[in-house]
Amino acid sequence: MIRINHHYLKLQSSYLFSDIAKRVAAYQEANPGKDIIRLGIGDVTLPLPPACIEAFHRAVDEMADSKTFRGYGPEQGYGFLREKIAQTDFRARNADIDPDEIFISDGAKCDTGNIQEIFSHSNRVAIPDPVYPVYLDTNVMAGRTGAYRNGRYENIIYMDSSRENSFVPDLPKTPVDLIYMCFPNNPTGAVITREKLAQWVDYAVKTKSVILYDAAYCAFVRDDTLPLSIYEIEGARNVAIEFRSFSKTAGFTGVRCAYAVVPKTCAAYDKNGDKQYLHPLWNRRHTTKFNGVSYPVQRAAEAVYTEAGSRQTKELADYYLENARIILQAMNELGYECTGGQNSPYIWIDGKTDSWGFFDLLLDKAGVVVTPGSGFGVCGEGYIRISAFNSRENVETAMKRVKEALASA
């Protein structure tokens, strides 16, 4: 008799953003005339930068000509893109990363979800709370957790993020092996200082653990004192894997391009306690299960690193950061305590009521979709997340409606 992977039965209903979409669809059906503004999922609304579009078109034309046509590319990505990434995103910031330590992929969601495959099931996994659900759910699917009780899975070491620690988790008190981190943070919008990140790197070095560092939102950092990459911290090459994405950086959510950095010096240990480098393991996994991102998409991503492309992508991020400022100001004026909204496209708001209740209130009274904080974990209860990814006009209208709705609530 064929059996299922029973770990899937431990998962909580559907993926958070599918749940929200269903709830909004049901509301819309019941209220057909109602105008709804979506500030829930962090999906970009502005078109691709012109430099990327031009490169995209040129590459498509190459595919139409037998002299320049390309079939399968290297699974790890084309050299032209990996070299630009290594030089611009890392070496220019004194982070020692080589092009062949970069693996181009179709998304940071896939990378952060798949990376756990190269680690033992016996690892003790530390996950922040609140958290981007992918880190947790993929460990559940892989069977690293026990049952779900009172909002948490057994066998996971949850790292609470709250106002008390400025939404940056403290070093764990019990031993851990695999540590998930995300800065600027999704969902809280919190950022991490160099000093704090250095403490985590030291911890990983001392305890022989590995940090999985999601930096998908680093394009929104405007404070020069903050690190963009974990590799700006000494020693991180040996203990950290980093994830980046062109989705939020350059509007690629519908195009799909991202990358993982697996330094050749980053290692874990086999059952005999012998050091094993992670680069060949991830290379093996990647080449077996992935056939590369399409050539035109990689050319479009490469254009992000041209003079025009980098100016245009910065303008995109600046646009959303101004939206974030408007949202933050409106919520502060209403008396809510907020995190994020600066150096981050997310605003994390203490709603002073239960998360889904606040979600329903804003949907019903203001026609504005947000994300309930409890969907990101127990510590998210009472909060909502507002995303700055929408047009200026929609953000201004949404905040006007939110103000009116909350004044009359």
Residues found near ligand MLT in the complex (CB under 6 A): 41-43, 109, 132, 186
Closest to ligand MLT by CB, 103 vs 217, is: 217
Closest distance between ligand MLT and the C-beta of residue 384, in Å?
Answer: 13
Closer by beta carbon to ligand MLT, 119 or else 243? 243
- Cβ 41 to ligand MLT shortest distance, Å: 4
CB of 19 to ligand MLT, least distance (A): 13
**Quick one: 99 or 380, whose CB is closer to ligand MLT?**
380
Return the number of the residue (42 or 367) whose C-beta is nearest ligand MLT: 42
Q: How far is the CB of 247 from ligand MLT (least distance, A)?
A: 6
Closer CB to ligand MLT, 186 or 298, in the complex: 186
For the bound state, the minimum distance from the C-beta of residue 253 to ligand MLT, rounded and expressed in Å, comes to 7
Residue closest to ligand MLT (Cβ): 42
Min CB(21)–ligand MLT separation in Å: 11
* Smaller CB separation from ligand MLT, 185 or 209: 185
Between 90 and 217, name the residue whose CB sits nearer to ligand MLT.
Answer: 217
Least Å distance between CB 394 and ligand MLT? 16
348-354 contact pairs (CB < 8 A, 24+): 348/167, 348/187, 348/188, 348/189, 348/190, 348/373, 348/383, 348/384, 348/385, 349/383, 349/384, 349/385, 349/386, 350/163, 350/382, 350/383, 351/382, 351/383, 351/384, 352/382, 353/382, 354/381, 354/382
